[in-house]
Structure 1
Amino acid sequence: MQTTTEFIPGKVITLSTELAKPSPFYFGFDIEDEFVNVLDTYNFDKIFFFTEQHLFELYGKALYEKIAAKYPCSLEFVPNGEACKYFPVLERTCEDLIAKGVSKKSLLLAFGGGTVGNIIGLAAGLIYRGIGYIEVPTSMTGQTDSTLSNKQAVNGQTGKNHFGLYHSPMFIWSDTKYLKTEPPVSKRSGIIEGIKNGFISDASFLDYLDTVLNPELNFSDEELYDLAYQIILSKLEILKQDPSEKHYGIVLEYGHTFGHAIEWLEKGKMSHGEAVSHGMKIAAELACELGFISPKDVALHYYMIEEKLGFNQPLPPYITTEQLMNAMICDNKKTGEDIRFVILENIGKCYNPEGDFLVTVDLNVVENIVTQFIASQQHDHQLAA
């Protein structure tokens, strides 16, 4: 099973993002007092501290004041949530930084969830062809998934994450104290990626999650710390084989082709994680239809996602097969004319007939599976009503 670590508040554990030039990943619970000590080891002229207003009031102010007491530090705010991830916000952010005297020696600090990290990471990658930045993720998704990937992007007019680049942070600071007050739907959005890691790479990890998860998300500080740590390790095991996520790491996109399409159609009304939870169930139904996994394996998806995690809201009844299929055509993972999918060969292993862990599937088969899934979801809506 996974490596364990003793729960000691204030203790900082150092992990690696496994890149050729890895970003240090500092992890712990209530480790804020150590942040400036780590910052002291870097050379810079000024810090621009980016966050959302509510996160600043909740947690960010304390960290900002610790930094500002020792270094020049400018406080900057970005729009809340997915509204942050568009070109106008990116352009305004970059131009404001230039106007405020950002230099090649400056650091941008992203304090918040994945959207803050994405927009500030992308700005850091573009300004002067790349300046330093630090990620301080405050969400389960940020701490256990998105910050490990070094992918920065904004959305386009027809889909998610169409425009971006790879730009690694100088370091990542992951304090699970910030997860204590995270809303349940947001917390589930991070945990779903851990469930995904079990399905694509390590079936035994699902046994661990089956033991520790509960749909009410009742966790002690120590339990939440261990859960985040284990999900981080589950992804790092995959990244060790492909830190760039361009070969084997593509398996991390399991359920995301369907999920991104659902999320896009919902226009901010559904979290990324909930959309992916639906996408994983559709992907499981497709793998079963193709003869790879069994109905029992499909049922395991529903059990882990709905019963253990509590992501059990049916797909909105107004989403149609045609809409979903059209949205997938614009998915940012496309590698050609065809829509291709990460498909399970069995629990813990992905099918790889074409050498890149993406599988071409007859779109008539895909359409039939999507139609059946939508019909089942509409039935669930009628029962709930």
Structure 2
Amino acid sequence: MHELEVKVPAAQPGSYRVAIGTGLLPGLWPQIKAAFGHRRPFVVTDANVVSAGHLDTLLGGRPAPQFVIDPPGEGSKNITTAVAIVEAMEKAYLGRDTLVVALGGGTVGDMAGFAAAIFKRGVPVVQIPTTTLAQADSAIGGKTGVDSSVSKNAFGAFWHPAAVYIDVAAVQTLDERQYRSGLVESVKHAMIADADYFEFIEQQMDALLARRTDVLETLARFNCTIKGRVIEADPDERNQRRMLNYGHTIGHAVESASNYRLLHGEAIAIGIIAAGRIEVEMGLSEPGRLERVTALLERLDAPTKLSADMDDKQLIDLLRHDKKAVDQWPRFVLLDRLGHVHCPDGQYAIDVGRSIVEKVLGAMANDR
């Protein structure tokens, strides 16, 4: 087992450990009870995780109050479900000595973390991610939230986990589409921070698609090291942490416009390509980079074009609603070379003219 420490020097002081290994889940409940023995655990999971057997594996027949999100997925990631989770904790007579345990993918982790942040003015949450997406990204960093009827993650809070346990064996139960889609966040981490890591993913793609656990452990270490370093520098996204949003500004708009028919990683793949085309328009892209990134995403079967029913004008309107927008327009994270964010004047997100974005999205609409 490998362990990393993420330091959080901001409003929620302290640090938390990220444990990475294969086959951690069966022995995890006693570890959690030992580490947080004075707290009463409440498990948040979803129907997919239950049917995959992960909840039974974690609990090992032990009783525990729980909330199962059903139907699973982004469609349930809303304030109504968040209220239901909080009320389920109340009905179980839980108080400020509660420990929320998030067992699942990105939706479970976001919702459980958000519920923990608002329950009795805040209780700890432990993240146990079971998908490639959550293990790469959402379980680490403390971003929690739910969607509104207008945009993604409109309600949210920074609520850093008390601990993170990553069992890479858990992703063996994912269907192929979910598995591949989640790997897009690993590509993003490589693009923003480590060109050698990008090359590692290229070289190990066959092993990744075969779900080799040794390679998945290495992937998790790269991801957690990159994200942990960024979070330690900027836990509340004042500046540097914005680099983690690469591909997400347009990607989130694409995800919303698809009514969540696209998985998160699939939408982010399109957002990465859009960012790459903006970089070309602004003279920031070295020759061949966009083609290289496109080829890697296509090996994951991730979409790199807007679908036929995607309206580029609707995407522009959604960008105006982006949670990071100022004066109805977001700033964009861009690269000046693979593994390095373009950072003029120390700013990790920069102004991009609306005309450039409209040109890129219009061209992507015409390319389909």
1:63 is aligned, of 41, 58, 72, to 58
2:160 equivalent to 1:160: no
Q: What residue identity is the alignment partner of 1:145?
A: D
1:13 is aligned, of 2, 5, 24, to 2
CA contact (8 A) 1:201 1:349 kept: yes
Q: How many residues align?
A: 361
User: 1:145 aligns to what SS in structure 2?
Assistant: helix
User: 1:17 aligns to what SS in structure 2?
Assistant: strand
Q: Which runs of 5 or more residues in structure 1 are unaligned?
A: 1-11, 379-385
The corresponding residue for 2:123 is: 131
CA contact (8 A) 1:144 1:229 kept: no
2:35 equivalent to 1:44: no
1:151 is aligned, of 143, 149, 157, to 143
The corresponding residue for 1:322 is: 313
Q: What residue identity is the alignment partner of 1:280?
A: I
CA contact (8 A) 1:344 1:351 kept: yes
What are the within-5 Å matches in structure 2 for residues 325-364 of structure 1?
325-353=316-344, 355-364=346-355
Distance 1:45 1:358, change over 3 A: closer
What are the within-5 Å matches in structure 2 for residues 271-350 of structure 1?
271-307=263-299, 309-312=300-303, 314-350=305-341
The corresponding residue for 2:219 is: 227
For 2:176 and 2:326, the matched residues in 1 are separated by 35
CA contact (8 A) 1:194 1:234 kept: no
Q: What residue identity is the alignment partner of 1:274?
A: E
Distance 1:104 1:347, change over 3 A: same
User: 2:139 aligns to what SS in structure 1?
Assistant: helix
Deviates more, 1:100-109 or 1:226-235: 226-235
How high is the TM-score relative to the length of structure 1? 0.88
The corresponding residue for 1:90 is: 82
User: 1:341 aligns to what SS in structure 2?
Assistant: coil
Deviation at 1:343, TM superposition (A): 1.5
For 1:227 and 1:25, the matched residues in 2 are separated by 14
The corresponding residue for 1:256 is: 248
Deviation at 1:28, TM superposition (A): 0.7
For 2:190 and 2:48, the matched residues in 1 are separated by 33
Percent sequence identity over aligned pairs: 24
The corresponding residue for 1:182 is: 174
For 1:371 and 1:351, the matched residues in 2 are separated by 24
2:23 equivalent to 1:30: yes
Q: Which runs of 5 or more residues in structure 2 are unaligned?
A: none
CA contact (8 A) 2:67 2:85 kept: no
Deviates more, 1:193-202 or 1:43-52: 43-52
Q: What residue identity is the alignment partner of 2:192?
A: I
CA contact (8 A) 1:250 1:356 kept: no
For 1:157 and 1:215, the matched residues in 2 are separated by 40
For 1:34 and 1:14, the matched residues in 2 are separated by 16
Q: What residue identity is the alignment partner of 1:198?
A: A
User: 2:126 aligns to what SS in structure 1?
Assistant: strand
Q: What residue identity is the alignment partner of 2:289?
A: D
Q: Give the 4+ runs in structure 1 shifted more than 6 A.
A: none
For 2:355 and 2:305, the matched residues in 1 are separated by 24
Q: What residue identity is the alignment partner of 2:15?
A: P
In the TM superposition, what whole-angstrom CA distance separates every residue of 1:151-188 from its partner, at most 9, and x where no partner exists? 11010121100111011222111111101121222222
Q: What residue identity is the alignment partner of 1:277?
A: A
For 2:98 and 2:191, the matched residues in 1 are separated by 41
What are the within-5 Å matches in structure 2 for residues 104-123 of structure 1?
104-123=96-115
Deviation at 1:67, TM superposition (A): 4.8
For 2:360 and 2:15, the matched residues in 1 are separated by 41
